């Protein structure tokens, strides 16, 4: 992503140079070019899944420039800002306020001044900025790091028949959708450590629905789970409620016939006695 930022910075420089050379003479152009190339600053946003390794790189140094210092400034929420610096002339590194052992130079800063976070944790959300000081000026690249936590997805049926799809402890909150759509109720519960549990419980009025799928979409990847609807005994394709009505009607008819037969029987006995 930062390559993109760098590319656009380069494009701006190129277009400025074209404008300058088209309208002025060479001595002026040299002066303009120098002032435009100097401080180059860009920010990019970066998303990383928790428990992976992240490597943040510094702006590259142009061939003619000579490195003086590299400084990483790390600003995390609820922590003092930490600074890691490397001085080329003395070949020394320094760290101020840096207590987190999982954030370090990627390799030897004299070779590669990138910063490494290994493993990435939820507390690493923040702003990381590399400042490169060279004989040709200062260059900055900032990263807004957002740590992602994949949710744990489960799908189950409650005793009352509702189907529940749950995406637990995801960061950011996951999105839940159903196929086919049902009568759903979705709630989000923040867990305090920036993760959120999303739970959607649904019912389907249409009794022809025999299987439903829950799709969970998240920046760390999408998941889909299916479950067969358990709606009691289904006889001859009739759903339970229809079946009950049929049984009831049949039973009522049987009762009426029984009463009529009984009545006729007693009438006969009475007639015989008489």
Ligand X SMILES: *[C@@H]1O[C@H](CO)[C@@H](O)[C@H](O)[C@H]1NC(C)=O
As a whole number of angstroms, the distance between CA 212 and CA 229 comes to 7
* Between 161 and 221, CB nearer to ligand X: 221
Q: Which two tokens stand for residue 166?
A: 């749950």
φ, ψ of residue 32 to 5 degrees: the values are -60, -45
The answer to whether 145 touches 48, Cβ cutoff 8 Å, is: yes
**In terms of CB distance, is 61 or 122 closer to ligand X?**
122
Strand 92-96 with 152-157, pairing: unpaired
- Which residue, 135 or 210, has its beta carbon nearer to ligand X? 135
Using CB under 6 A as the criterion, which residues of the chain lie in contact with ligand X when the complex forms? 25, 27-28, 41, 43, 50, 80-83, 91, 96-97, 110, 122, 127, 142, 149, 169, 191, 193, 195, 217, 221-222
Is the preceding peptide bond at 155 cis, omega within 30 degrees of 0? no
Residue nearest to ligand X (CB): 80
CB of 165 to ligand X, least distance (A): 14
Cβ proximity to ligand X: between 42 and 162 the closer is 42
Separation between Cα atoms, residue 97 and residue 83, nearest integer Å: 7
Closest separation in Å from C-beta 252 to ligand X = 51
Least Å distance, CB 91 to ligand X, is 4
- DSSP bridge partners of 215: 177, 224
- In whole angstroms, the minimum distance from the beta carbon of 191 to ligand X comes to 4
Return the number of the residue (83 or 199) whose C-beta is nearest ligand X. 83
CB of 195 to ligand X, least distance (A): 5
Cβ neighbour number for residue 126 with a 10 Å cutoff? 17
């Amino acid at each position: 992503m930062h390559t993109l930022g760098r590319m656009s910075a380069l494009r701006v420089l190129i277009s400025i140079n074209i404008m300058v050379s088209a309208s002025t003479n060479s001595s002026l152009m040299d002066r303009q070019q120098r002032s435009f190339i100097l401080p180059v600053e860009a920010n990019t946003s970066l998303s990383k899944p928790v428990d992976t390794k992240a490597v943040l790189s510094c702006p590259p140094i142009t061939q003619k420039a000579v490195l003086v210092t590299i400084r990483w400034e790390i600003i995390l929420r609820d922590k003092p800002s930490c600074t890691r610096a490397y001085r080329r002339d003395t070949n020394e590194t320094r760290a101020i306020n840096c207590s987190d052992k999982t954030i370090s130079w990627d390799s030897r800063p004299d070779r590669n001044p990138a910063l490494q976070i290994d493993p990435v944790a939820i507390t690493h959300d923040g702003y990381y900025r590399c400042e490169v000081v060279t004989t040709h000026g200062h260059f900055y690249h900032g990263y807004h790091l957002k740590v992602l936590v994949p949710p744990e997805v489960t799908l189950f049926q409650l005793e009352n028949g509702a189907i529940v799809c749950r995406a637990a402890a995801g960061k950011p909150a996951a999105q839940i959708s159903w196929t086919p759509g049902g009568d759903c109720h979705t709630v989000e519960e923040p867990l305090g450590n920036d993760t959120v549990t999303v739970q959607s419980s649904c019912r389907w009025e249409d009794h022809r629905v025999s299987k439903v799928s829950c799709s969970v979409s998240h920046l760390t990847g999408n998941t889909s789970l299916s479950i067969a609807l358990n709606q009691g005994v289904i006889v001859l394709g009739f759903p339970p409620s229809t079946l009950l009505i049929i049984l009831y009607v049949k039973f009522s008819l049987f009762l009426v016939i029984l009463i009529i037969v009984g009545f006729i029987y007693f009438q006969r006995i009475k007639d015989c006695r008489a």
